[in-house]
Amino acid sequence: MIETAGREDVSTASLRDAARMDFLRSYAFTGVHLAAIGALFTGFSWVAAAVALATFWVRLFGVTGGYHRYFAHRSFKTSRFFQFVLAWLGASAGQNGPLWWVSHHRHHHRHADTEHDVHPPGLRGFWWAHAGWILSRRYAGYDRSIVKDLERYPELRFLERNHMLAPLSLGLVLFGLGWWLEVRYPGLGTTRWQLLGWGLFISTVVLYHITFLVNSAAHMTGRRRFETKDDSRNNWWVALLTLGEGWHNNHHRFPSSERQGFFWWEIDATHYVLRAFERLGLVWDLRGPPERVYTRASRA
Ligand SMILES: [Zn+2]
Ligand SMILES: [Zn+2]
């Protein structure tokens, strides 16, 4: 558990960081939320709801299977082409480029729940861990020294510099698709603005807050199977919402394991999708937890 010593220093640091909010990023973040509220006024159709669900799940997988399990932890292997596909899908979630994301995540694993951690909820509170840190100018850059393995790919550096291309192009595709459906199949009751609003903005806001739960809720509530140095938890409802990322105590104990739900009842949808991709030959060498996990866990 987190000790209370040093709490005041860290709170003061939080306030100072909060005062240095990056206004452009904060406006963009707020703007996406306002656009999502605006999207509700474009009306509802089952097509728009289905498209929003699809863009939500596919991009969430880009974050969980791509940014997190592949790029941050290198827990499986893939081709250079599919690596870029994963990076693009991750970038389309609007959570910055792959190098920024991975750098901060690797830093989190090294310093989880200490005053050096970027998002420790025990020290800085739920909202800081959830979204505050992302808006802080202090974390706008990233430590290049811990992502050297990724920086050697020019296409990843390009995507890092131009990460907004991914969500913007998704918006364009959705707008075009909505326009086409509006003209060709008016009976469906959808429009270009509705598909853009639901497929991009509503989907992105839900995606933001569900992803962020891993940094906030999964370090606060749930069960601890392993006595890790951090405060990570196995949280079943976060796992269900995040395609398996809620088995966060398992993950902090064995971060290089692609599989994060260690037992069949620990639903880990990202793992199932990656297993299917393995059968298709898209990915290989998936790393699992060591065998001793099962004997130790059975005693816990
Ligand atoms: Zn964590
Ligand atoms: Zn991780």
The amino acid at residue 42 is T
Q: Which ligand is nearest to the CA of 73?
A: 2
For 47-56, 118-127, 173-182, 231-240, which range has the lowest pLDDT when averaged over its residues? 118-127
Average pLDDT over the chain, rounded to an integer: 90
Centroid of ligand 2 to alpha carbon of 196 (angstroms): 31
As a whole number of angstroms, the distance between CA 227 and CA 93 comes to 32
Q: Position 38: which residue type? A: G
143 close to 107: Cβ distance less than 8 angstroms: yes
Name the closest ligand to CA 112.
Answer: 1
Mean per-residue pLDDT for 228-251? 96
Contact 251, 72 (CB under 8 A): no
> How far, in Å, from the CA of 110 to the mean position of ligand 1?
10
In whole angstroms, give the CA distance from residue 217 to residue 207: 15
Angle CA(274)–CA(278)–CA(280) in degrees, nearest 5?
A: 115
Instruction: Say yes or no to pLDDT of 203 above 90.
Output: yes
Q: Looking at the predicted structure, is the pLDDT value of residue 93 above 90? A: yes
**140 CA to centre of ligand 2 in angstroms:** 20
98 alpha carbon – ligand 1 mean position (Å): 17
- Considering the chain, what percentage of its residues have pLDDT values greater than 70? 91
Looking at residue 256, its pLDDT comes to 96
Chain Cα centroid distance, residue 222: 19
Ligand 2 centroid distance, CA of 22 (Å): 25
pLDDT given at position 192? 97
Q: How much is the average pLDDT of 249-264?
A: 96
Given this model, what pLDDT does residue 299 score? 56
The residue among 268, 202, 269 whose CA lies nearest residue 55 is 202
Among 126-135, 230-239, 291-300, top mean pLDDT goes to 230-239
Q: Give the per-residue pLDDT at 124.
A: 84
Per residue in 134-151, pLDDT (tens digit) is 888 778 888 999 999 999
pLDDT at residue 6 is higher than 80: no
- Tell me how far the alpha carbon of residue 50 lies from the centroid of ligand 2, in angstroms: 30
* Ligand nearest to the Cα of 64, by number: 2
Assess whether pLDDT exceeds 70 at residue 297.
no
Q: How far is the CA of 205 from the centre of ligand 1 (A)?
A: 21
Q: How far is the CA of 100 from the centre of ligand 2 (A)?
A: 14
Q: What pTM did the predictor assign? A: 0.90
State the pLDDT at residue 186. 95
Spatial contact of 236 and 246, defined as CB atoms under 8 Å apart: yes
Grouping H, G, I as helix, E, B as strand and the rest as coil, residue 78 is: strand
Say what the pLDDT of residue 82 is: 98
The region of weakest confidence among 14-18, 86-90, 117-121, 129-133 is: 14-18
Helices (H), the chain: 7-19, 23-39, 46-61, 80-91, 98-111, 121-124, 126-127, 133-135, 148-151, 154-161, 165-184, 192-196, 203-212, 236-241, 248-253, 269-279, 292-299
Give the integer Cα–Cα distance in Å for 14 and 182: 48
Task: Compute, in angstroms, the gap from residue 222 CA to the centroid of ligand 2.
Answer: 17
| Ligand 2 mean position, distance from CA 272 (Å) | 18
What tens digit of pLDDT does each residue of 27-72 get? 888 899 999 999 999 999 999 999 999 999 999 999 999 999 999 9
Residue 4, pLDDT score: 37
- Identify which ligand lies nearest to the alpha carbon of 106: 2
